[in-house]
Amino acid sequence: MSPTPTSRMVVVGASAAGLAAAETLRREGHTGTLTLIGDEPDAPYDRPPLSKEILSGAWTADRLPLRTEATLDALDLDTRYGREAIGVNVAERTVLLADGTEVPYDGLIVATGVRPRHLPGTPAHVLRSLDDALALKDRLGPGCTLAVVGAGFLGAEAASVAAGLGTHVTLLEPAPVPLAHGVGEEVGRMLAQVHLDHGVDLRTGTGVSEVVPGGVRLDDGSVIEADTVLVAIGSRPNTEWLAGNGLTLDDGLVCDEFCAAAPGVYGAGDVARWHNPTFDTSMRIEHRTNAAEQGTAAARNLLGAQRPFAPVPYFWSDQYDMKIRAYGNLRGHDEMRIAQGSLEERQFIAVYRTGDRLTGVLAVGVPPRSLRPWQQAIAARSPWHHATSLLEGTAA
């Protein structure tokens, strides 16, 4: 059944992706019932500042909402905040809420995001919601000690903020260098040195088996003492509520290039694993820009646009005095080369090859416009020899 302007649309996930989907549905002419369901009691808010501006105290919580109350009212949404979706019946096209309510739909967009992974043992801090960030913020400052498990982007950002507040930080990472799986060993060594230069006790090649009272236990049995522990070891997509309905669930809701998971069911944001034609691979992206773009694309395709969602993913990270920006797919790359600047100066552009193609670019300390030629080359599926010509042009 094709949706009509008066169809019943349901968006599960009051997130950046969910909000983008709802706004797009209205903008593209949908006038029927539009229900937005979220398990948190708040209207959609921005998450990247949680590990940066909120944690540091630079922002207060009132700066987080993605839209004003008046703007949300103009969308004429049937909002169900603080209501968790616990099931879906694809055949009957209904969503079941935890309070027993069934919400019927003609079109459904799943934007339920992810939740943090945990470690065994004593409960520790995680960093996903506003409440998480505020609780952790109260534990930081001079005289406080913090153990951060995981030196990915989230853990590194939290460590940098905590160190800047005068907290003694121990950062624990099982890989040889931070972000080795993505940015590569050379860039990872540079990032490691930045942590050390800012007084963080970085310990790489160090696995953590459990959280214990007063710290964490390492794989070798020793204990790192800390007043507070933050676990930042990745996340799990929120897909359990979708099980048993013929939907394919494999590290996310599996979707095609149009973000469709089944007739009338589309995925968007952190929870969606879709086929990206630009890279001819399945990917699930946990970054803010992708969430908004995919929410828009999913809504348009639900309404019948049927345009492949083929972005060059973008992400950024603020660590200490560094602004890190990247485009493309850096994971599993075969080669990294410095196109401009130097790692020693911490001002550079690094480009990445997978197979015979240019697939990614990462920059530190350079203007965003410097990345545009590389972004365009990645979008054009340029072969690596094209990147080499760009490198030669840069050098010239």
- For the purposes of burial, counting CB atoms within 10 Å of the CB of 193, is it exposed (0-12), middle (13-18) or buried (19 or more)? middle
- Give me 48's structure tokens: 């990247």
Cα–Cα distance between 394 and 176 in angstroms, integer?
Answer: 31
Q: Give percent of the chain above pLDDT 70.
A: 97
108: domain CATH number is 3.50.50.60
Would 57 be classed as within a structural domain? yes
Instruction: Please give the Cα distance from 389 to 164 (Å, whole number).
Output: 41
Looking at residue 181, what is its pLDDT? 83
d(CA 140, CA 347) in angstroms, rounded, equals: 30
pLDDT at 393: 59
Dihedral of CA 236/180/194/223: which sign? Answer: positive
Domain end among 215, 231, 247 = 231
Per the structure, how many domains does the chain have?
3
pLDDT, tens only, 90-144: 999 999 999 999 999 999 999 999 999 999 999 999 999 999 999 999 999 999 9
Mean pLDDT for the stretch of residues 203-209? 97
Res. 386 pLDDT band, cuts 50 70 90: confident
Confidence of residue 392 (pLDDT cuts 50, 70, 90): low
Say if 309 falls within a structural domain: no
| HSE, side-chain direction, 13 A CA sphere, residue 205 | 2
Mean pLDDT of 54-70: 97
Does residue 2 form part of some domain?
no
Same domain as 147, residue 217: yes
Together in a domain, 334 and 192 = no
H or E, element range at 316: strand 314-319
Nearest to residue 187, comparing CAs of 311, 322, 283, 52? Answer: 322
**59 and 149: one domain?**
no
Are residues 268 and 297 in contact, defined by beta-carbon separation less than 8 angstroms?
A: yes
Claim to verify: residue 341 and residue 193 sit in the same structural domain: no
> Is the predicted pLDDT of residue 330 greater than 90, yes or no?
yes
HSE, side-chain direction, 13 A CA sphere, residue 236 = 8
Residue 2 has pLDDT above 90, yes or no: no
Regarding whether 247 and 211 lie in a shared domain, the answer is no
- Which pLDDT score is estimated for 396? 37
CA geometry: angle at 354 spanning 353 and 359, to 5°?
65
- On whether residue 136 sits in a domain, the answer given is yes
The arithmetic mean of pLDDT across residues 301-323, rounded, is: 96
What's the confidence (pLDDT) of residue 129? 96
Domain shared by 125 and 227, yes or no: yes
Distance CA 362, CA 371 (A): 8
Task: Tell me, yes or no, whether 226 and 239 share the same domain.
Answer: no
Strand partners, 202: 171
What's the average model confidence in pLDDT over 340-358? Answer: 96
Cβ atoms 40, 82 nearer than 8 A: yes
- Clarify whether residues 214 and 358 are in a common domain: no
What is the identity of the amino acid at 228? Answer: T
Please say which residue of 245, 273, 302 terminates a domain.
302
Q: In DSSP terms, which residues pair with 236 in a beta bridge?
A: 115
On whether residue 177 sits in a domain, the answer given is yes
| Residue 304 dihedral angles phi and psi, to the nearest 5° | 110, 5
Bridge partners of residue 341, in order along the sequence: 348
pLDDT tops 90 at residue 360 = yes
Q: By C-alpha distance, which of 353, 378, 151 is closest to 277?
A: 378
Q: Is there a single domain that holds both residue 226 and residue 252? A: no
Instruction: From 325, 384, 388, 377, select the one nearest 354 (Cα to Cα).
Output: 384
292, pLDDT greater than 70: yes
Three-state SS letters, 246-273: CCCECCCEEECCCCEEECCEEECHHHEE
Regarding whether 222 and 169 lie in a shared domain, the answer is: yes
pTM > 0.85: yes or no: yes
d(CA 8, CA 5) in angstroms, rounded, equals 9
363 in a structural domain? yes
132-146 CB burial, b ≥16 within 10 A, e <16: bbeebbebbeeebbb
Are 108 and 239 in the same domain? yes
Domain of residue 286: give its range.
9-115+235-302
Rounded to whole angstroms, the Cα distance separating 359 from 49 reads 28
Of 188, 213, 231, the position where a domain reaches its end is 231
pLDDT tens digits, one per residue of 218-275:
999 999 999 999 999 999 999 999 999 999 999 999 999 999 999 999 999 999 999 9
307 lies in a domain?
Answer: no
CATH code for the domain of 325: 3.30.390.30
Same domain, yes or no: 111 and 126: no
In this structure, what DSSP letter does residue 359 have?
E
Region of poorest pLDDT, from 8-17, 153-162, 176-185: 176-185
- Closest by CA to 94, choosing from 215, 225, 241, is 241
Is 316 within the bounds of a domain?
no
